[in-house]
Amino acid sequence: MATTSSIHEDVNPQGKASHPLAVYGIAAVAALGGLLFGYDTGVISGASLFLRKDFALTSFTEELAVSSLLIGTIIGAVVGGRMSDAIGRKKTLIIMAIIFAVGAILTALMPNLPLFIACRILVGFAVGVASFVSPMYIAEMAPPKLRGGLVTFNQLAVTIGIAVSYWIDLALANANLGWRPMFAVAAIPGLGLLVGMLFLSESPRWLAGKDRWDEADKALNYLSPADKKQELKSIHEAVTSGSPPTIRSFFRAGLSMALVVGVGLALFQQFVGINTVIYYAPTIFGYAGFKSATGAILATSVVGVVNVIGTIIAIVLLDRVGRRPLLLVGSVGMAVALVAMGAIFQAGASNAGTLILISLLVYIVSFAIGMGPVFWLLSSELFPTRLRGTGGSISTVANWGGNLLISITFLSLIDVLGKPFTFWLYAILAIASFVFCWFLVPETNGRNLENIESYWKNGRKWEGTDAKHE
Ligand code: BGC
């Protein structure tokens, strides 16, 4: 058995190089969970036009049809942490893949609204679980040097899923095929996730946490033989120190701040209003004077593509310039764009359509380089190994809860406050997000996960330095 003694052995006798290709492959498979998250959230925007007709929806039942997925995601986020800690990241993702695939087909077949809603809650459950277990699994498999970029593969997949859902909605709508195939298509990546995960190993950190050191050793030997000795040593220190994890563990000195940062980022990621754009972009373009529905949907599709491009830029930059600069620059960019949008609506400019499109593109790029990827990355990095499932779960619940709150209040806010003040309200929240990140979010770039754990335990100081964020 590879216990403490073998942890200190020379573990790279053959001088093997690490397997970057294997690690990229693993990230790509796990990121199919992200693709499904994006697809299943984005698909409803185009599908709701058809559902409205087929199920004779009122505004209330339409809101229900749209938000049922979000209800499922919150349940999934609550359950997913315990599930992935109990049965492992791999089995959890396999079960979710089955739910994604079966749920997609069932949704497409449903004859009435209550059954449709039940299926969306079921699929939402898988989205909620996968939204944090996929990035967490990638973070636990990745060598520290590649972790930021690899985990962000998942956010890239989310944005690709959203963009693809817009384009598929558009194509199927033009072909007059209705809403059913829009949902059924998600079975394909669902099956991809299932087959892919069957071939991947369990996370070495989860295995070590269950005292299965032999398997953890084997997994690391495959993933990053060059760093294995150091990784095993720090995993060992992390999983054997301290008392067994409970929710109260967070409230002991130091760790509560990890939770504050995780939950704070989760809420700010939603409170800056991203999903008013993702779910309601055609409506916003409509306000700005886009005459035809096709024009508005086409502009929305452009927003989807720019979201993907911004996320690619983030992948390139995250492990070079770090997480904090991107969060800070992104928050400023969003605030500026939101102030501009409010001003454009306030002025009632005649060419508002183009100006709103430009502002929305600035906004989406700013989100895509900062809050979008960095929240999910940090929620997989911030928490100590033994509490990662629980911590990730709590911040994911906050994220989906915030998402639901913003999505169901947007149209009413427009009614009550008017367009300018609604966007200015989100601008104030983007400024608050800047202040929060400036003071509380540490720079985790290049640190291994156990190093991050000691940062919290040392009262927010990196080992061997006095600097707080650095
Ligand atoms: C957010 C989603 C959002 C998506 C947009 C994700 O990071 O959690 O709520 O729809 O980014 O790209």
Q: How far is the CA of 372 from the centre of ligand 1 (A)?
A: 6
Across the range 107-130, mean pLDDT stands at 97
Q: What is the pLDDT of residue 373?
A: 93
CB 381 within 8 A of CB 449: yes
* More confident: 88 or 145: 88
**Could you report the per-residue pLDDT of 66-107, keeping only the tens digit for each?**
889 999 999 999 998 889 989 999 999 999 999 999 999 999
User: Which ligand 1 atom sits nearest the alpha carbon of residue 307?
Assistant: 12
* More confident: 250 or 154: 154
Pocket test for ligand 1, best of 158, 270, 275 (most atoms within 8 A of CB): 158
CB 96 within 8 A of CB 133: yes
| pLDDT band at residue 272 under the 50/70/90 scheme | very high
Q: Residue 411 has which token pair? A: 């149209």
Q: Residue 452 has which token pair? A: 């991050």
| pLDDT band at residue 465 under the 50/70/90 scheme | low
CB 427 within 8 A of CB 346: no
How far is 240 from 431, CA to CA, in rounded Å?
41
Across the range 279-299, mean pLDDT stands at 80
Q: How far is the CA of 274 from the centre of ligand 1 (A)?
A: 7
* More confident: 5 or 417: 417
Residues 6+ apart with CB under 8 A from 291: none
Ligand 1 site, residue 34, Cβ cutoff 6 A? no
Q: Mean pLDDT lowest for which of 10-19, 63-72, 253-262, 323-332? A: 10-19
Largest CA distance in the chain: 74
Across the range 354-378, mean pLDDT stands at 94
Across the range 136-159, mean pLDDT stands at 86
How far is 182 from 196, CA to CA, in rounded Å?
23
**Could you report the per-residue pLDDT of 223-244, keeping only the tens digit for each?**
766 677 777 777 776 666 655 5
| pLDDT band at residue 21 under the 50/70/90 scheme | confident
Q: What is the pLDDT of residue 246?
A: 64
- Using CA positions, which residue lies closest to atom 10 of ligand 1? 275
Query: Of 274, 250, 242, 222, which Cα lies nearest the Cα of 42?
Result: 274
CB 383 within 8 A of CB 393: no
Q: Strand, helix or coil at 470? A: coil
In the predicted structure, residue 7 carries a pLDDT above the cut 70 = no
Across the range 383-395, mean pLDDT stands at 82
In the predicted structure, residue 382 carries a pLDDT above the cut 80 = yes
Q: What is the pLDDT of residue 95?
A: 98
Across the range 294-320, mean pLDDT stands at 88
Across the range 52-78, mean pLDDT stands at 89
**Could you report the per-residue pLDDT of 164-210, keeping only the tens digit for each?**
999 998 888 888 888 999 999 999 999 999 999 999 989 888 888 88
* More confident: 439 or 233: 439
How far is 405 from 43, CA to CA, in rounded Å?
19
Q: How far is the CA of 2 from the centre of ligand 1 (A)?
A: 41
| pLDDT band at residue 391 under the 50/70/90 scheme | confident
**Could you report the per-residue pLDDT of 208-218, keeping only the tens digit for each?**
888 888 888 88
| pLDDT band at residue 10 under the 50/70/90 scheme | very low
Query: Of 153, 158, 177, 145, which Cα lies nearest the Cα of 49?
Result: 177
DSSP 201: P
Calculate the CA 356 to chain-centre distance: 26
Ligand 1 site, residue 159, Cβ cutoff 6 A? yes
Q: Residue 327 has which token pair? A: 């969060």
Ligand 1 site, residue 372, Cβ cutoff 6 A? yes
Mean pLDDT, the chain, whole residue set: 86
Q: How many residues does the chain have?
A: 470
Q: Mean pLDDT lowest for which of 81-85, 142-146, 291-295, 308-312? A: 291-295
Q: How far is the CA of 156 from the centre of ligand 1 (A)?
A: 10
* More confident: 46 or 341: 341
**What value, to the nearest 5°, has the Cα angle with vertex 276 and ends 275 and 279?**
70
Residues 6+ apart with CB under 8 A from 328: 370, 434, 437, 438
Q: How far is the CA of 404 from the centre of ligand 1 (A)?
A: 12
Cα dihedral value 314, 320, 323, 326, nearest 10: -50
Q: What is the pLDDT of residue 3?
A: 40
CA–CA distances in Å: residue 247 to residues 82, 250, 456: 11, 6, 16
Residue 233 backbone zone (phi > 0: left; psi -120 to 50: alpha; other: beta): alpha
Q: How far is the CA of 381 from the centre of ligand 1 (A)?
A: 18
How far is 254 from 261, CA to CA, in rounded Å?
12
How far is 391 from 247, CA to CA, in rounded Å?
9
Pocket test for ligand 1, best of 45, 73, 155, 274 (most atoms within 8 A of CB): 274
* More confident: 24 or 309: 309
DSSP for 432-455? Answer: HHHHHHHHH----TT--HHHHHHH
In the predicted structure, residue 131 carries a pLDDT above the cut 80 = yes
How far is 394 from 45, CA to CA, in rounded Å?
27
pTM to 2 decimal places: 0.85
